[in-house]
Chain A
Amino acid sequence: MNENEKVTNIFLSGVGGQGAILASNILAEVFLNSGYDVKKAEVHGMAQRGGEVTTHFRFGKKVYSPLIKHGDVDFLVSFELLEAIRYINWVKPEGRVIINNQMVFPPAVNLGLREYPKDVGETFKKYFKGNAYIINGQDIAKNLGSLQSANVVLVGALSSFFPGLKEELFLEAVKGLLASKLHDLNIKAFYEGKKAMERKD
């Protein structure tokens, strides 16, 4: 397969209610309007009730399968630490990882039966070196005034890997998919996410 036909695989993971679906909808608009074929598949059985949510997102000249092959992920974007490490084996060795620094305890952890994984960030740094980015999306969003916008912070962060995409397309998608009273907030969130990637830590 030549470079031209290459399909890029983005895997989003999180907990029901964190806005992973909205984030993938923004990506879909942007890549479609940039002339790519796009396919995406969500899994959210009973996710509104705090279960895991994943989205397979793929773009390229022509995309067949909506599902990404195990081990073929180019970008892992996770809204939560445990949901990031759960999919660590899906990422290609040279893949990139963006993780929101937030913990949401699953029932077994709440009940004190299991431990929440430690040092998720360190584990990712070990395997992906400089390609693992831990973002304080939660704090950034809180400072902007709404926890809900952490998902757009992550979209902003991811966008910095695609300098060829027009920034307006992201802004248009945010405006198209969110209620107008949320536009300003989320546009700020997008830029803050982008900025977070410039900081080296």
Chain B
Amino acid sequence: MKKQIMQGNAAIARAASDAGVKVAAAYPGTPSSEILRDIANTYPEIFSEWAPNEKVALEVASGASFAGARALACMKHVGLNVAADPLMTLAYTGVKGGLVILVADDPYSHSSQNEQDSRHWTRFGKVPMLEPGDSQECYDFVKIAFDLSEQFDSLVLVRSETRVSHSDTVVEFGERVEPAEPAGLDRKEWQKYVMVPMNVRAARIKVEERIRKLEAFADEFKHNKMELKDTKIGFISSGVTYNYTKEIFPEWSSLKLGMVWPLPKKMIAEFFEKVEKVVIVEELDPFFETEIRAMGYKPFRGKDVIPVMYELSPDIIEKALKGNEYREPETRVKPEDLPRRPPNLCAGCSHRPLFYALNRLGAFVFGDIGCYTLAAAPPLSAIHTTVCMGAGVAQAHGAMKALGKEALGKVCSVLGDSTFLHNGLTPLMDIVYNKGNATTIVVDNRITAMTGQQEHPGTGFTIKGEPTYMVDYEQIGRALGVKSIRNVDPYNIAETMEVLKEEMDKDEPSLVLCVDAPCVLLRREKKQFEYTLYAIDEDKCRGCKICLNINCPAISWHEGAGESTDGHKRKGTVRINPDQCVGCRVCQQLCKFESIKPVKKSQ
């Protein structure tokens, strides 16, 4: 088979196909999102879907498994928290067709709200977990995970992380298993699947037996690998961390754990016997270390020198273990002297004028997860919390209950369309039911934007781009009992401010829907603006900098003392970059001196 270079996520998708998976479901989340996209685009034999949240994704996959088909659910680490509920009980029911959860961690929190270590779920849930370290292992381990799932009648977790999911390394594929026809649902198996107390107690015994069997298996598992070289010193590691250590200490002995739970106890004993000094190198929490110490072994080094937070890298490991021997490279320029380049809302994004309006209204905004989080930074400064999907809606309600009438007109929550469907409906129902008065603003950009444009039940399209029923937010709002529902065009700042003020002042729950505001990167619904380009009339510009308050990437400040033609002194002018401006007209509404005008785009 020809070697290919492939992203970890793409290798996972291929493995799902080669393992004969029939159903795959996910909610997008970096760094896991490409897996389902690749499955949908490349492997038509798999039914694939974007679920509204991870809990649903796992439930869909488990249904397929109960029917005898192999099924995969994919999510990021924080998504596994959402799916924890079915996870903990599926650990009891076991499976019929192989059932695998792919969870992608994000050490260093490159694009996440926390840095949690998903390995804890494997011990907590009493289900096994594999951890690949490169694309080849992504491919191999996912296939193995399905076999193990059926062999041990257990859900299996596969943990990837940013450096594995988003690295491209060489892969050679193995054989493809033709998917067997699912055995089908069998009503006689109800004691296995109905978790009423009587059945739970029986299942509970099986759970313990299973983990003991898996422990024995771990000692035989060929991807738990002992490499004995220089036995004076050796490390225990897993995943990409193994590759980092190998890079720095190729001459050391090593125990690489392909299965991170349960641990291969005999192998660990043998390693401690053969190697004088054992160093445990693991990313994030001292998961192995705690276990290994509890077994009675004393590692030579572990979390005493290896950081417990952020991402590891070869140089961090080298520094930690070699101390002074690590040569810091020459500092030619101090990076902290350079301006940073944080992400920003796109030029023309509909969130920009909305948040400008909220800022002007002085509202406290309970935010959520999505592009709009970027409005937290100055100068928009209009998001004041970000916790998890759906949290903002409930938090605004809680805060308003706490503050009473004085919060009227001052508090709201904002969340995106995908987030609203993910977990925003339940808290909105709660607001109505418990006689709250919070305003919920749904910024409907008609796509899951931040993770890279995935469909959801409000876009009108499935993962394959097939047209489907499109959720009507207004009707949902009504069904949940919201009486005050308003539509607003966020690009019209004055009107937006007026509507928001009115709704926030009302002593009843309100739902404000930002309509006709698709993500500007969304080709399908390419937003049509009246003009495609705005420009600064430099004769008129007084350099007041008001238009800079929206932080549009197309607008920049240019120093240079002078005078406008109507005789006003200025310290500089702003300019609009014609390559970036899309003509949303937001800046024009801010300029008091009419120095921003539409122009024809040349080209």
A: which residues have CB within 8 A of B?
15-16, 25, 28-29, 32, 37-52, 63-72, 82-83, 85-86, 88-90, 92-93, 105-112, 114-117, 123, 127, 147
Q: Give bound CA distance, A170 to B556, whole Å.
A: 38
Tell me which residues across on chain A come within 8 A of B226, comparing CB atoms: none
Decide: A66 and B134 in contact? CB cutoff 8 A.
yes
Tell me which residues across on chain A come within 8 A of B452, comparing CB atoms: 48
30 contacts between A and B (CB under 8 A): A32-B3, A32-B5, A37-B170, A38-B170, A39-B168, A39-B170, A40-B5, A41-B167, A42-B167, A42-B168, A46-B371, A48-B343, A49-B344, A49-B345, A50-B344, A50-B553, A51-B343, A64-B247, A65-B313, A66-B167, A66-B240, A66-B243, A69-B314, A71-B327, A71-B330, A89-B330, A107-B341, A110-B557, A112-B548, A117-B338
Number of interface residues of B (CB under 8 A): 57
Q: Give bound CA distance, A114 to B555, whole Å.
A: 15
Decide: B168 and A70 in contact? CB cutoff 8 A.
no
Q: Give bound CA distance, A46 to B112, whole Å.
A: 10
Decide: A41 and B342 in contact? CB cutoff 8 A.
no
Decide: B315 and A107 in contact? CB cutoff 8 A.
no
Tell me which residues across on chain A come within 8 A of B163, comparing CB atoms: 41, 66-67
Q: Give bound CA distance, A28 to B329, whole Å.
A: 27
Question: Which of A16, A38, A45, A70 lies at the interface centre, i.e. has the most chain B CB atoms within 10 A of its CB?
Answer: A45
Tell me which residues across on chain A come within 8 A of B244, comparing CB atoms: 64-65, 67
Decide: A89 and B335 in contact? CB cutoff 8 A.
yes
Query: A-facing mask of B193-221, CB < 8 A → 1, else 0?
Result: 00000000000000000000000000000
Which of B246, B333, B344, B551 meets A88, CB within 8 Å? Answer: B333
- Which residues 1-59 of B sit at the A interface, judged by CB distance below 8 A? 3-5, 30
Which of A51, A70, A83, A109 meets B556, CB within 8 Å? Answer: A109
Q: How many A-B residue pairs have CB under 8 A?
A: 162
Tell me which residues across on chain B come within 8 A of A64, comparing CB atoms: 243-244, 246-247, 250
- Tell whether A28 pairs with B5 under 8 Å between CB atoms, given A40-B168, A109-B556: yes
Query: A-facing mask of B329-366, CB < 8 A → 1, else 0?
Result: 11111010011111111100000000000000000000
- Which residues 524-567 of B sit at the A interface, judged by CB distance below 8 A? 545, 548, 551, 553, 555-557, 559
Decide: A111 and B329 in contact? CB cutoff 8 A.
no
The answer to whether B457 has its CB under 8 Å from any CB of chain A is: no
Tell me which residues across on chain B come within 8 A of A83, comparing CB atoms: 341
Tell me which residues across on chain A come within 8 A of B345, comparing CB atoms: 49
Decide: B329 and A45 in contact? CB cutoff 8 A.
no
Decide: A89 and B557 in contact? CB cutoff 8 A.
no
User: Could you tell me the distance in whole angstroms from the C-beta of A141 to the nearest C-beta in chain B?
Assistant: 12
Q: Give bound CA distance, A84 to B163, whole Å.
A: 22
5 closest cross-chain pairs (CB), A and B: A71-B329, A112-B557, A51-B343, A49-B343, A45-B111
The answer to whether B450 has its CB under 8 Å from any CB of chain A is: yes
